[in-house]
Structure 1
Amino acid sequence: MGMVIDGQWSDEDRIIEDGAFKRAPSLFDLEIPREVVNALRNESGRYHLIASMSCPWSQRAILARQLKGLVADVPLHLAGGERIEGYPANGGDPWRVPGTDRDVVHLHELYTLSLPDYTGRVTVPILWDSQTLRIVSNESARIMRAFDASPDPNSLDYTLVPDALSVAIDRLNLQLHDGLSNAAYRAGFAESQAAYDTAVRDVFKTLDGLETRLASQRFLHGPVITESDWRLFPTLVRFDIIYYLFSRCTLRRLVDYPHLWAYARDLFSWPGVADTVDFDAIRRAAYVDHPETNPFGILAIAPDIDWRAPHTRAQLGPALVATRTGDYRTVEPVKRTAI
């Protein structure tokens, strides 16, 4: 896949250790300052979200931007296309970097514009400051928290991380990352049988636990929808079309878990959420955009599943959101209005 070393693109990649995939830490994984959070709306258009519809980590940030009413204030630029030197900035065409008169073709050029001697992988999402010409963050968890912390004056001002659940949310987020979201990639990139077997065991142990958890409650933390739900959702969206075959997580499909599959469709039905899902982009990124893994570019046929089928999850109780004052409000997800 390649990476940047001392400010220069290299086809070398340092993601495998002893046959196992290791996700490298990011130099831009820092807490986003409160002044940036405040400026997201107060300085509308200053900060840009650069993301890919194929990437689950990107989708988390796109979801938070959509759910928290930041669409008009934080412009979204979608990167994607065949990986020549990592992510193309604009499908292989030049793209004008916000705040500059400079065009780039590859996203690694944005990294070195921000940090000339950068060494590391080039990933999305990216929160870009068009005034200081710096990457604020390339960590989806940080970006989600920043978007959530920005009060919405035009709608019900709710939070995805209520104080009463924050410890439980952080704990479950870590379990979901280690046992499922990242484990699916550990399975797909494994270069030894032992590494693959360990990753797949983690994936299905986590899915089995989620199926049990969601049998009696509507969302991961009970009746209230939280950040954990929206961090999990992009992984579920990709499971049957990518992870099941391409990442060799073939023990069971998402649709084989009745509670988890209905829960996923419940989230998909929320206003604006379907707009963040591009099944074609997800499949093309896996099968076409990486010629080294699929040299003939054969695009696997998508499974015949209906994400818009009725989910009946309302029988477990109404959906709640948490306000910043600590109250819980019932919402009707189809309309996303408070009751």
Structure 2
Amino acid sequence: MGMLVDGHWVDADSTIVDGRFVRPDSVFCEDIGDVAERLRAQPGRYWLIASSSCPWSHRTLLVRALKRLESAVPVQIAGGERTQGYAVAGGAPWAVPGLALRIRHLHELYRLSAPRYTGRATMPVLWDSHACKIVSNESARIIRALDAADTGAASAFTLTPPAFRDQIDALNAELQVGLFNAVYRAGFAQRQDAYEEAVESVFATLDRLERRLANARYLFGPITTETDWRLFPTLVRFDAIYHGHFKCTRRRLIDYPHLWAYARDLYSWCGVAATIDLDAIREGYYRHDRNLNPFGIIAAVPDADWSAAHGRERFGPARVALASGQEVEIDPLTLQRGEPDR
């Protein structure tokens, strides 16, 4: 994919170490509490630059939609040929918010923020159009800021209720290692043992999730939390991408009855389907991962009816937690909430 070295683009990459894929750390980490406060006070200040194919970008688009922040946080979808990494606007010049400047590639935004930056130019990116810099390229921090952006009122719902925060953080970490990054470790492995280790992790994690969801509507019971929406992008991509392209071939998502129904439940939530561009997802992997797919052949779409009835209502109505700590029922199709529990 290429990277920046001292602010200069090079076509080399440093993500494979001893035959294993190693994901680099994110480096732009401004205090998210400050960002959330400014998001509330200054709608339009922060721009989200995201990719339709990238699961980490997808998390941010999901939370933006669920929290109805579309007007407060403008989005720029990056895509197109990756001649120098991600093109910001399909290869056309893009006017950088806050600057009288046009760029074509995401790495130029990184260089504007840190002229001697060394590392990959990854997405998502949260861009501050007042300070004219990247404030975060870490999806976990960005979704926390988006979640907190409307929680000034006690009646607003939150995806990270304080009572569950430690459990959410623990499960997030487990899924990051065991599934979200493991599918990439399987796909990009250059040693058989590295591949087998990663695949074992992927399916052991999916098996645990299947058991967990056999008796609960969401990962933490009746309420939906950040962890559900961190998991969803990987589930959306599993059969279309990870099963074949990344050689995670032991089972498909649709072979897990509880996990597959759970994924369709999340898909049915208001605004979620609009965040999914399956054509862009397939093109983003098959066409641009030429090391894995040298001829750029895009595999056929798997047969799967995401709009089929999921039947998860049998576990009770969907619920969310309010910033006040109370829980309320929510209609996933409209995001209309009921009265708080007494």
Residues 229 and 289 of structure 1, relative CA distance in 2, 3 Å threshold: same
- Give the alignment of 1:35-184 within 5 angstroms: 35-151=34-150, 157-184=156-183
The corresponding residue for 2:325 is: 326
Residue matched to 1:239: 238
CA distance in 1, matches of 2:295, 2:184: 22
Deviation at 1:297, TM superposition (A): 2.3
The amino acid of 2:232's aligned partner reads: F
Q: Is the 8 A contact 1:41 1:70 kept in 2?
A: no
Segments of structure 1 that go 5 or more residues without pairing to the other structure are none
Work out the CA distance in 2 between the residues paired with 1:290 and 1:242: 11
Q: 1:253 to 1:155 in 2, by over 3 A?
A: farther
CA distance in 2, matches of 1:331, 1:317: 11
CA separation of 1:255 and 1:23: change in aligned 2, threshold 3 A: same
Question: Secondary structure in 1 aligned to 2:134?
Answer: strand
Question: What are the superposed Cα offsets for residues 88-138 of structure 1, whole Å, 9 maximum, x if unpaired?
Answer: 111111111111111111100000011000001110000000111110000
Spell out, residue by residue over 1:203-237, the C-alpha distance to the aligned partner (whole angstroms, 9 max, x if none). Answer: 00000000000000000011110000000000000
Aligned to 1:6: 6
- In the alignment, the residues of structure 2 paired with residue 153 and residue 10 of structure 1 have an alpha-carbon distance, to the nearest angstrom, of 44
AA of the residue aligned to 1:294: N
Correspondence for 1:287 = 286
CA distance in 1, matches of 2:305, 2:155: 30
Separation in 2, partners of 1:336, 1:156: 14
Given that residues 151 and 323 in structure 2 are in contact (C-alpha distance below 8 angstroms), is that contact kept between their aligned partners in structure 1?
Answer: no
Structure 1 position 292, deviation (Å) = 4.4
- Which residue is equivalent to 2:194? 195
- Report Cα offsets for 1:247-299 as digits up to 9, x if no partner: 00000000000000000000000000001111111000011134444333221
> Partner of 2:181: helix, strand, or coil?
helix
Task: Note if contact 1:270-1:334 (Cα within 8 Å) is conserved in structure 2.
Answer: yes
Cα offset for 1:154?
Answer: 9.8
Distance 1:153 1:174, change over 3 A: closer
Contact conserved, 1:68 with 1:152, CA < 8 A, in 2? no
Q: After superposition, give the CA deviation of every residue in 1:175-226 in whole Å (9 maximum; x if it has no partner).
A: 1110001000000010000110000000000000000000000000111100
Which residue matches 2:16? 16
Q: Does the CA contact (< 8 Å) of 1:69 and 1:152 recur in 2?
A: no
The answer as to whether partners of 1:7 and 1:116 remain within 8 angstroms in 2 is yes
Code of the residue aligned with 1:253 in structure 2: it is R
- SS where residue 57 of structure 1 aligns? helix
Letter in 1 for 2:301: A
Query: Which amino acid in the other structure matches residue 310 of structure 1?
Result: A
Give yes or no for contact 1:82–1:290 (8 Å, CA) kept in 2.
no
Q: How many angstroms apart in 1 are the aligned matches of 2:296 and 2:187?
A: 18
Pairing of 1:254-293 with structure 2 (within 5 A): 254-293=253-292
Residue 152 of structure 1 deviates from its aligned partner by 5.7
Distance in 2 separating the partners of 1:200 and 1:295:
22
Q: What is the identity, as a one-letter code, of the residue corresponding to 2:81?
A: E
SS in 1 for 2:36: helix
Range moving further from structure 2, 88-97 or 46-55: 88-97
- Aligned partners of 1:156 and 1:51: how far apart in 2? 29
Does the 8 Å CA contact 2:266/2:272 hold for their aligned counterparts?
Answer: yes
Deviation at 1:156, TM superposition (A): 5.4
Q: Decide whether aligned partners of structure 1 residues 39 and 210 sit closer, same or farther in structure 2, where only a CA change above 3 A counts.
A: same
User: What TM-score results when the alignment is normalised by the length of structure 1?
Assistant: 0.97
With normalisation by structure 2, the TM-score equals 0.96
* Distance apart, 1:41 and its partner CA: 3.0
| 1:2 partner letter | G
CA contact (8 A) 2:182 2:199 kept: yes
Residue identity in the other structure for 2:262: Y
Q: Secondary structure at the match of 1:9?
A: strand
* Equivalent pair of 1:79/1:91 in contact (CA under 8 Å): yes
Secondary structure of 1:203's counterpart equals helix
Q: Deviations over 1:49-90 (max 9, x none)?
A: 000110000010111111112110110000011211111111
d(CA) in 2 for partners of 1:146, 1:8: 30
Which AA in structure 2 matches 1:23?
R
Query: Which amino acid counterpart does residue 24 of structure 1 have in structure 2?
Result: P
